[in-house]
Amino acid sequence: MRSMAGRPSLRLATMSLDATPLLHLLWLASPALPVGGFSYSEGLEAAVDAGLVHDEVSAGNWLLNQLELVQARAELPVAAAAHAATLALDGARLAELNAWVLQTRETSESLQQTQQMGRSLLVWMQGLVPDASVLPCLQGLKPAPTWPVVMGAAAASRATALEPALTAIAFGWAENLMQAAVRCVPLGQTAGQRLLARLVQAIPTAVATALATPEPMAFAPLLGVHGARHETQYSRLFRS
């Protein structure tokens, strides 16, 4: 009886250990992560104001383009490079990546977003993984650490493999922007879930593109135009 009673506990302990990396990924992808991502629409609100986005289909098309042109070619490759630099404890590479992100932000709002969310995620890391070897490197990034750099470093510091980490980062972005679409298009909750399903279907390809990209590339002119228009938009819900 003692032996049989002990087996479930042993199995439960083994399952808990195996689930730890997955739980860390879910944590990083959670909209409850205290970084303020919910306050940004990344140009979506301006596209709604201009009439480019007006329903579920057009919102999905806009976000799919952003996934393919921005996330897959810029944000995720930076996060992947930061993941590798963190494992190698390469502070110079992290600084180089951070400078690239700062230099390629086309609007003051997008620059503010990446810096604010990067700072907030760094504070989260300092509280949750205070012994992470990469922290001094991130703390030394000036004028501020940027979101994709800190996110890649956080994933590596939590011992998550690269491809699942990028998948989680992409899903976190998709869920946040879906919620922004629900609020500003506006859409119903069911429509929002259908929109998220379209993004989820495209995420594996975006991650594969990011993994195959030797260097990040920033070129999304329509997003830049509408991001700039958002800065003077008369009525706004979001900070970008």
Asked whether the CA dihedral 52, 55, 59, 60 is positive or negative, the reply is negative
d(CA 34, CA 30): 9
**Distance (Å) of CA 187 to CA 18, 83, 175, 201, 237:** 38, 35, 14, 20, 15
Lowest mean pLDDT among 101-105, 170-174, 175-179, 221-225: 221-225
Closest CA to 40 of 102, 114, 99: 114
pLDDT in tens, 3-26: 444 555 545 444 455 688 888 888
Residues 6+ apart with CB under 8 A from 146: 98, 101, 102, 114, 115, 118
Name which residue leads in pLDDT, 18 or 224: 224
User: Please, are residues 146 and 114 in contact by the beta-carbon 8 Å criterion?
Assistant: yes
* Cβ count within 10 A of residue 99: 14
